[in-house]
């Protein structure tokens, strides 16, 4: 079955750029999306269709997908961006699937 | 603005069936995939499945033998049934919307419910 792999944790200093990766076999043959989840809250869609931002999502969030890796980039990271981040894709055989999640720490 | 709200028992006994409903307000249940996702305490998100009106549901292979999803257009609701539950099914259950117009493989969930906690215990 298809799998998506994320690093468990990423740390970044305020104002710097954070990159969170999501790896899967030939992932760029699929569409990747990203969610942000803060404690006690529902996930929020940040990026869809690899690099598209829904309305209301700040421009500092961007996405890309190349070969085996999709990347979520947060430019000018703020304290409020501290959260768990999940990638997600659709596989014809497996169906919907999420990466294991990455905890972003802003320190 | 579409809103989703999960409802159902917060406590289910082992071996029984978990039944949840998601009510859709502010929009039609037509024209979208409807999904269920769950999250055990302190763990990641797990996709349970999705359904579209008049189509068979697509389910997580690990749950497929126990899961049924359905859509009730008259009530603007969709439902999840998970049979033969065990303690491993204890989690927060979310319902979510995925735009059908994006296509079957361009699958992303743009509206989520607030989640409901289900505990499996005797």
pLDDT tens digits, residue range B8-47? 999 999 999 999 999 999 998 988 999 999 999 999 999 9
All residues of chain B having their beta carbon less than 8 Å from the beta carbon of residue A54 are: 110
Task: Give pLDDT, residue B59.
Answer: 97
Strand partners, A95: A91
Task: Give pLDDT, residue B54.
Answer: 83
Average pLDDT over residues A45-71: 97
Candidates A88, A94, A101; nearest CB to B108: A88
B113 and A42 in contact by Cβ < 8 A? yes
Candidates B44, B60, B110; nearest CB to A86: B44
Q: Is the pLDDT of residue B55 over 90?
A: no
Helix, strand, coil % over all residues of chain B, rounded to 5: 5, 50, 45
A104: tokens are 């972003």
The CA distance from B44 to A107, in Å, is 23
Burial of A8 (0-12, 13-18, 19+ CB in 10 A): exposed
Q: Is the pLDDT of residue B60 over 90?
A: yes
Contact B60, A88 (CB under 8 A): no
Task: Give pLDDT, residue B103.
Answer: 82
**Nearest residue on chain B to A31, alpha-carbon basis:** B106
Q: Is the pLDDT of residue B56 over 90?
A: no
Closest CA to A68 of A94, A89, A97: A89
**Nearest residue on chain B to A54, alpha-carbon basis:** B110
Q: How far is CA A45 from CA A13, A61, A103, B61, in A?
A: 23, 11, 16, 24
All residues of chain A having their beta carbon less than 8 Å from the beta carbon of residue B104 are: 90
Q: How confident is the model at residue B51 (pLDDT cuts 50, 70, 90)?
A: very high
A86 and B60 in contact by Cβ < 8 A? no
Average pLDDT over residues A51-57: 97
Task: Give pLDDT, residue B100.
Answer: 86
Contact B47, A96 (CB under 8 A): yes
Burial of A105 (0-12, 13-18, 19+ CB in 10 A): exposed
B35 and A96 in contact by Cβ < 8 A? yes
Average pLDDT over residues B68-95: 97
The CA distance from A88 to A4, in Å, is 8
Whether chain B has a CB inside 8 Å of the CB on A48: the answer is yes
pLDDT tens digits for range A15-45: 999 999 999 999 999 999 999 999 999 999 9
Summary mean pLDDT of chain A: 97
Average pLDDT over residues B59-74: 95
């Amino acid at each position: 079955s298809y799998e998506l792999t994320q690093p468990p944790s990423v740390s970044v200093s305020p104002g710097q750029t954070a990159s969170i990766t999501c790896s899967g076999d030939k992932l760029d043959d699929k569409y990747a999306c990203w969610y942000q989840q803060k404690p006690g809250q529902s996930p929020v869609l940040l990026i869809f269709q690899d690099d598209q931002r829904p309305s209301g999502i700040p421009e500092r969030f961007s996405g890309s997908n190349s070969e085996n890796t999709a990347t979520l980039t947060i430019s000018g990271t703020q304290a409020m961006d501290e959260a768990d981040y999940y990638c997600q894709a659709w596989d014809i055989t497996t169906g919907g699937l999420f990466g294991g999640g990455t905890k972003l720490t802003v320190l | 603005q579409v809103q989703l709200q999960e409802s159902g028992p917060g406590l289910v006994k082992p071996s029984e069936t978990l039944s949840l409903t998601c009510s859709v307000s502010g929009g039609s249940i037509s024209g979208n995939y409807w999904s269920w996702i769950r999250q055990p305490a302190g763990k990641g998100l797990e996709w349970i499945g999705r359904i579209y009106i008049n189509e068979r549901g697509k389910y997580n292979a690990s749950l497929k033998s126990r899961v049924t999803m359905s859509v009730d257009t008259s009530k603007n609701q969709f439902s999840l049934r998970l049979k033969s539950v065990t303690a491993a099914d204890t989690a927060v259950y979310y319902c979510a919307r995925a735009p059908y117009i994006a296509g079957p493989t361009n699958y992303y969930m743009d509206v989520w419910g607030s989640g409901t906690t289900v505990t499996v215990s005797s």
